[in-house]
Amino acid sequence: MFIGHFGLAAAVKAAQPRVPLWSLMLATQFLDVIFVGLYLAGGIESFQAVTQGTYGEALIDAQYTHSLLGALLLSAVYGALGAWRWGTKAGGVLGALVFSHWVLDLLVHRADLPLLPGNAGDLPLLGIGLWQTPWATGVVEGILLVVGAVLYFRSVRQRAPLTWRAMVSGGVMVVLLALGLAVDVLS
């Protein structure tokens, strides 16, 4: 679930216009940004394809960034940075948005999300596995994208006259995200 995270960021932007959109979009991907850093830092975290060329078919070994406790800690860090920069309310919103990544991943991932970092205690791994039904994942991501885009455009129009430039740039973003979703689901 990549596009759905961005749809959620757009929906939150509609409710929190003072928080920069880039910080909301980064918040939705913050766990994955840290994951990539750990992947590049010697394979501390990794992934492997289960079925080549299918949507979401990978086993993720994100024992730190995508553990429940790790996600809560990274949410707190990002939220604290947001609070320092834009105030307490923005920090709370940003921290919650970081954690929303884990919640959405819980829906789509196979059972590969640990509760504790490093899967300490060898507790059961979590994941509902919606990725195994690509059309259902596509529907969920599509709904998040459409709802986020609609709420975002409505909020922009209510705050100021909607300019041609804003419509074109927002429209291009929505089309690119929709194409990304289509390519993911259909490939």
Lowest mean pLDDT segment, chosen from 72-76, 107-111, 144-148, 159-163: 159-163
| Higher pLDDT among residues 10 and 2, named by residue | 10
pLDDT of residue 186: 57
Token pair listed for 187: 């490939």
Q: Say if CB 106 and CB 128 are below 8 A apart.
A: yes
Confidence of residue 171 (pLDDT cuts 50, 70, 90): confident
pLDDT of residue 52: 61
Which tens digit of pLDDT belongs to each residue from 100-156? 999 999 998 888 899 999 999 999 999 998 888 888 888 888 888 888 888 887 777
Domain ranges of the chain: 3-186
Whole-number pLDDT of residue 47: 80
Identify which of 72, 154, 152, 143 has the alpha carbon closest to the alpha carbon of residue 114.
Answer: 72
